[in-house]
Structure 1
């Protein structure tokens, strides 16, 4: 591998002679060094430490690094480099380890370029093994970046940098571009922090750049991680949904380790199977090639084809199942380093038992009543509407000229269909999921609303209302937000069908047009005529 040779006579702790810089990133340098005491080569990690004017904090950092590394090494032998010594010297932490017969991920990417999705999945699986072992005993790495992951030609990856996290008051010592949003905000960290870093590393392996660029000053980089939208991955293929799920800013919404493992394992296994299998006849191949359509924002009506393989479908099912948000819980496309309009999160079926009283009439938006549809209701459509029967099993009356604009699906587990018309800024989204939680009020409040707030310019209208809809538990939420320089207003209703299944409806229109008679009639017609698939 190419190394950035430097001319140096420096030594650390009077023992380690620094020879070559192997990898650089913010506040971290990896050195090839000679151990003058043993005559053997070693790896020295130079981590720049924050100022400690009183000298009370830094002396304790080396002990923490040694202790944490020993704990993790016992749990996962062969996956950590043995730490020989750790010393705080010249405003830096110097960690000397036995030589690793491998290349740091950062140096490897600089030399070889991006990884294909199978190679990235293999590295990700090996990282998960290490993180899983650490998390079982309550240890969070918290500093994971390309300079702390070493890829070997034979054997699994080796992870360094244990014990640095929370050893000082700094939210992140090394590689701030890989910090999680909760680190950027100085909040408490945990296993979800490492899963964010895993997502960021997968993103970098696939895209050739981190999801958030290094802005030169750690505080500026951390501010970008916290506030800016994710740059949409373009080369991630069947890993797209997983990467986006791991890089959700709210740690509560982030995919967990087991889901990540399942997705990565299936991708690796699919590759192994395809390498050894005979060619599949054309008709069977067409049946297996499922195009998962990642729906863009309902407002812009963009559709992006994310993948066309069976592995993509597996990823989508796992991700949609794990999020426990509403149907079609995709991460939305976003642009680099510029604030984006907030994503339209699907509604959440379910409602608290406290309001589940027989005979409640389903409520429409404020000042409107929407009676439950009877078998004859659809025969009484207002002029200008026609009944649409979706192949998925639901039906709803739509204005003439309206059609399906976008469809996102994951087999029979979840889908989302968005309806609208050209030159009409209004949209209706219908979503379905077989992984619906029991309390829609809590989902609106705890899962959907925080994401809307983070995107900015969001204002909820009134309270989240538990209600009944067609004799089933439901909940409504309304809000306004800024999208593409236009203030829009959205009404969402989610309804539980039972056995974990649920639908939601979301109606979005320019806020200035909300009270137009035509818009009010459209929403009332949707609520009156919508019929879910048979229970």
Structure 2
């Protein structure tokens, strides 16, 4: 086929490489007199005419979408040619070795160089995700590295087409098992976080010399991805916390693209490497010597008094209030994943028929949700659900407290804790929360015990992202920075924010995990009263004591 002219313009000269998705040719664009790379896309054998046509159309569509990407970390797509009933993708010719070739020939790379490569790929993924393109096959073989360490990601769009299990009746899923994230192995659709897991696995391989779940065959790899955590890297040095954050099994808690790019930039800078490592490990990401928020666990949200409606609909067995973030979606039991024979070039095709692999990915959520609790949120609840609520009573009968309370507060208690609340405020129980409400205003104190895990600082980062994304806290605005603090000697973090609910409300919410039990302690007031009551807010929050502490 050497010398063939495509579309009357692209002269094929020699084969650059072959892989599971096709053949890449060195070619010359005779119209513009420049060298290009042309990818001859190969469609799997055995497809029906309808399936071939579907794949063909989708390949062209995805390649054209990829051509919209304009990022130095992406191989530029110049043209798409439809010839001989096959798609041909005309791309920038990058004179480089693949990262896989580098590893095979030179061995594992130093962390700083890996971070330099990873930062560019993270930027490429971020740019692609911003316009709705997923890669779905990030791996060392698809990362090209030039002699001056420019790194570019290849096969955008092509992998997306091939990875779509809805393309055919047989449910084909193409991917490289060692770089496939747990959610995809589990049968869930790919999302941007899936590409980031694959990025983490690629960088892990670059420092350690092999993929995180390296095994002797594809079946064993898939089983490990589904059921086992990634072994801690031994050679990654300051890059290790970034890899850990990218290889988080739960996609909701996984580091995001922009956070990964900034963290990798810091590690690549060398002098900021240890700062980046410390900050990422503690829930922050270094940004030019400063700190940016990283992806935290999902959690719950605090709730307002009965007369307030929460912008967050309550979920099964949980209460929403602007202090917590939504818990992660229940894990689904893994579907049956048939493996079609043959793994070429580290690529496996999974089908929904054939040899069956069934595994449990971990504890699944309860089948029967508990009764949905009512609204008590520092926000509005659109449709307050009925809940088991104790009658409103004066602030609980006094309980002993080892620490004297400031003037104006009386001791109160809830399950597993004590707290000081303003005298005369009325107590009610709403789901996982106890709320003390000011009888003459919309102010309230709330302690919520909905389960969440992870670092308290991360808790608020996640919650804020979700609050902004769903827009249910009208006019939400964080006040100042999320700050680390302590509660009765336990690590804690505060977030302060305002939102509109029959006027502007302002709240400070403190997240703390004491003895394995998470709490969110909220004080909310009309914003007009905040300055005059800031000391009260501080006193209430500081009075919180898990049982037996202080």
Q: Which moved more, 1:115-124 or 1:310-319?
A: 310-319
1:503 counterpart SS class: strand
- Give CA deviations for 1:453-501 in whole Å, capped at 9, x if unaligned: 976367879969996632361316599xxxxxxxxxxxxx999877453
1:502 corresponds to: 511
Structure 1 residue 182 corresponds to structure 2 residue 183 = yes
2:75 corresponds to: 80
Cα distance, 1:194 vs structure 2: 1.7
Alpha-carbon spacing, 1:207–1:46, altered in 2? closer, same or farther (3 Å): farther
Alpha-carbon spacing, 1:141–1:171, altered in 2? closer, same or farther (3 Å): farther
1:157 corresponds to: 151
1:470 corresponds to: 418
Residue number among 137, 147, 172 corresponding to 1:143 in the alignment: 137
Stretches of structure 1 lacking an aligned partner (at least 5 in a row): 1-7, 275-307, 327-347, 358-436, 480-492, 509-525
| Aligned mates of 2:152, 2:452 — CA distance in 1 | 49
Paired residues in the alignment total 352
2:284 corresponds to: 318
1:446 corresponds to: 328
Cα distance, 1:86 vs structure 2: 5.7
| Aligned mates of 1:150, 1:530 — CA distance in 2 | 56
Q: Which has the higher helix share?
A: 1
| Aligned mates of 1:496, 1:312 — CA distance in 2 | 20
Indicate conservation of the 8 Å contact 1:16/1:33, yes or no.
Answer: yes
Task: Give the TM-score, by structure 2 length.
Answer: 0.52
Q: Superposition RMSD on alpha carbons, in Å?
A: 4.8
| Aligned mates of 1:495, 1:311 — CA distance in 2 | 21
- Give CA deviations for 1:257-312 in whole Å, capped at 9, x if unaligned: 2211221122223x2x58xxxxxxxxxxxxxxxxxxxxxxxxxxxxxxxxx93332
- Give CA deviations for 1:175-222 in whole Å, capped at 9, x if unaligned: 2322222322332222222212211211111111112336645x7644
Alpha-carbon spacing, 1:311–1:253, altered in 2? closer, same or farther (3 Å): closer
Alpha-carbon spacing, 1:502–1:36, altered in 2? closer, same or farther (3 Å): closer
- Give CA deviations for 1:224-253 in whole Å, capped at 9, x if unaligned: 433333232222222222212212222222
1:240 corresponds to: 240
1:122 corresponds to: 116
Alpha-carbon spacing, 1:494–1:474, altered in 2? closer, same or farther (3 Å): farther
Cα distance, 1:147 vs structure 2: 2.2
Q: How does 1:260-271 map to 2 (within 5 A)?
A: 260-269=260-269, 271=270
1:501 counterpart SS class: strand
Indicate conservation of the 8 Å contact 1:464/1:475, yes or no.
Answer: no
- Give CA deviations for 1:313-345 in whole Å, capped at 9, x if unaligned: 13324269423339xxxxxxxxxxxxxxxxxxx
Cα distance, 1:64 vs structure 2: 3.7
Indicate conservation of the 8 Å contact 1:150/1:158, yes or no.
Answer: yes
1:305 corresponds to: none
Stretches of structure 2 lacking an aligned partner (at least 5 in a row): 286-291, 309-320, 335-359, 374-413, 420-445, 454-489, 496-507, 518-544
1:339 corresponds to: none
Alpha-carbon spacing, 1:477–1:134, altered in 2? closer, same or farther (3 Å): closer
- Give CA deviations for 1:494-535 in whole Å, capped at 9, x if unaligned: 998774532212459xxxxxxxxxxxxxxxxx953224xxxx
1:56 corresponds to: 50
Task: Give the TM-score, by structure 1 length.
Answer: 0.53
1:424 corresponds to: none
Alpha-carbon spacing, 1:105–1:221, altered in 2? closer, same or farther (3 Å): same
2:528 corresponds to: none
Structure 1 residue 353 corresponds to structure 2 residue 304 = yes
Residue number among 126, 129, 150 corresponding to 1:132 in the alignment: 126
1:519 corresponds to: none
2:228 corresponds to: 228
| Aligned mates of 1:211, 1:190 — CA distance in 2 | 20
| Aligned mates of 1:60, 1:507 — CA distance in 2 | 52
1:261 counterpart SS class: helix
| Aligned mates of 2:209, 2:174 — CA distance in 1 | 23
1:378 corresponds to: none
Indicate conservation of the 8 Å contact 1:259/1:322, yes or no.
Answer: yes
